[in-house]
Amino acid sequence: MHAIVPPYLLARLAAAPVDRFPAAVAAARATLALPRAYRPMPAHIDLSVDGDALVLAASPDPDRRISDAMGREELPGVLVRSEGGAPTGDTAVDEAYDGLGATFDFLWQAFERIGLDAAGGPLNASVHYGRDYDNAFWDGSRMVFGDGDGEIFSGFTQSVSVIAHELGHGVIEHAGGLDYSGQSGALNESIADVIGALTEQHLRGQSAAEATWLIGAGIFTDAVSGSALRSMAAPGTAYDDDVLGRDPQPAHMRDYVETSGDNGGVHINSGIPNKAFHLVALALGGFAWERAGTIWYRTLTSGTLSPASSFAEFAAATIDTAGREYGEESEEAAAVRTAWQGVGVTGDVANS
């Protein structure tokens, strides 16, 4: 299942001393035990004047529907805010509504993609799922948000990168999908992180150099020694906490983690392609979605990726895309080649 908090992190919290974080430990255990079922265009008109001409431009609008699960483990819950509706005063409802809108705007303005399915399908979300539920996930048809336990996790709707990451799984599925295990699963997680980071940067108007490249900043309470769930700029440094342990993500193939847990390390080894994307974005400069993001998006939606793609296969595909889009001898193609070499996926130190 596609969830923002990795199972190994929840397992670590579930094994923590109960007397220190009683609510968080209980919440982590309950979150791990709770199964998640998987269930696989409006527009607005802008008028402007250009000389003597009246210019009419149509842009798609999202179709957001936010429901309240009211602490139950049943979906979707009660519909509480629909597209165009006024803020409700419920922070989780309104943050989810805004985060879904930010993701829709990013996909359209960066890639001219109308929603997750590229056809303007509804953006559904449910908030207040379960009691102290320590996760947020994409179930194949909607975003689902827990409220966190209040001791370790403070809630998930406040992070645009979390919202866009999970919606990114919907984009990946509609583009053809990547098997959710091993290297293809880590690519699935990494591409979702790319969408999450770029959506947040787009919303804030940040360049690649200005951005934090953090995924999930703000979802930890002050009790945690850490800044986020993951760092695309420096995998393995997002947190180092006596309860949660140390961020296990590698940034290079020499440190690739072989594990049967976490669907073969999908949340762990995603640090390697994450770092590759970050290197491309920094090398090209400017807004990361304009060139680096375009290369990754065109590769994802090209129809040529195998669902079981390895890191090396995806790297080759992005290099081909950069060559087609910008020229084989272009700055863009060179940046992509150098980045994959830099993380050990291609070149003499390749280990795919």
User: Is 139:126 a contact under the CB 8 Å cutoff?
Assistant: no
- The CA distance from 269 to 190, in Å, is 9
For residue 267, indicate whether it is catalytic: yes
Give the Cα separation of 22 and 14 in Å (integer). Answer: 10
User: Among residues 95, 166, 189, 313, which one is catalytic?
Assistant: 166
- Annotation marks residue 174 as catalytic: no
Tokens coding 116? 């997750």
> 112-149 b/e with 16+ CB inside 10 Å = b?
ebbbbebebbbbbbbbbbbbbbbbbbbbebbbbbbbbb
- Residue 43 near residue 60, CB atoms below 8 Å: yes
325-215-270-5 Cα dihedral, nearest 10 degrees: -140
Other beta carbons within 10 Å of 253: 19
Per-residue b/e over 266-287, b at no fewer than 16 CB within 10 Å? bbbbbbbbbbbbbbbbbbbeeb
d(CA 153, CA 156): 8
Cα separation, 293 vs 302, whole angstroms? 14
| 147 φ/ψ angles, rounded to the nearest 5 degrees | -95, -5
Q: Which of 59, 34, 33 is nearest to 46 (CA)?
A: 59
Strand partners of residue 60: 43
Choosing from 95, 267, 313, 332, the catalytic residue is 267
Contact by Cβ (8 Å): 139, 36: yes
Structure tokens at 7: 């199972």
The residues carrying an active-site annotation are 166, 267
